[in-house]
Amino acid sequence: MLLAIDVGNTRIKGAVYERNTLINQFVFSSLEVKNTIKNILENNPKITDLIVSSVGNENSIAFNSFSEMISIHFVSHQDIFPFQNKYATPTTLGIDRMILATGATLLFPKKNKLVIDAGTCVTYDFIDDENRYWGGAISPGLRLRYKSLHQFTSKLPLLTLEEPLNFIGNSTNQSIHSGVVNGLIHEIDGFIRQYKNKNENFTIILTGGDAEFLAKRLKNTIFANSNFLLESLNQFFQYKINND
């Protein structure tokens, strides 16, 4: 059995897999790493491997404390991936984006693919039908947009995510909700339209913490899966075993 861990900017997500079957999943904070991993291993004694995708290295010591119990794999740029990396600065490409590209490549090997990860940031990653990764874009996520409007102005309030009542906001709060939510929806639809205009046989994958909220508001037909990164980690691990 495999324990897959995704260390994001705001939280840590984990899942236990028996090959392609999801057994259980978890969400916890960086302060809870040791206790949470300990409990997971105690409750799932058949786990033999831990694979970690992280945007930083601050939790490596906590994970390594379990190295005598299970095999630990930190995904790095030195690993073998199922796509050709055409990024101009490949060593700066986020591990999370590489794992998402891996999942998209293994799931849709002969299609043009755009992976949109809507979390703290919104990342766009394009892999063509010859499994070449070209790059994409990075922009602020929903909560970053709310936060920046509050922090970098003198009077705008800090709001939490809410469905706009109308496209035309008739109050300051409703104007913020409309600007943040509709602004990101139009951004995503615009990116998809640009990619579609240049690529046939095209698949769009939407994932991340805000995937479910955004999916039903987008005009385009998409493959929405909020757990796609964890599933991609599981697929990457199997690919790694078969190709190392």
The set of catalytic residues is 96
Alpha carbon distance 62, 32 (integer Å): 10
**Strand ranges (E), the chain:** 2-7, 12-18, 21-28, 49-54, 71-74, 84-85, 112-118, 121-127, 132-140, 202-207, 223-224
In the block, residue with structure tokens 């299970």:
70
Do the Cβ atoms of 26 and 11 come closer than 8 Å? no
Q: In whole angstroms, what is the distance from residue 141 CA to residue 174 CA?
A: 18
Token readout for 138 is 């990075």
CB 183 within 8 A of CB 145: yes
Tokens of 23: 């057994």
How many CB atoms are located within 10 Å of the residue 203 CB?
A: 18
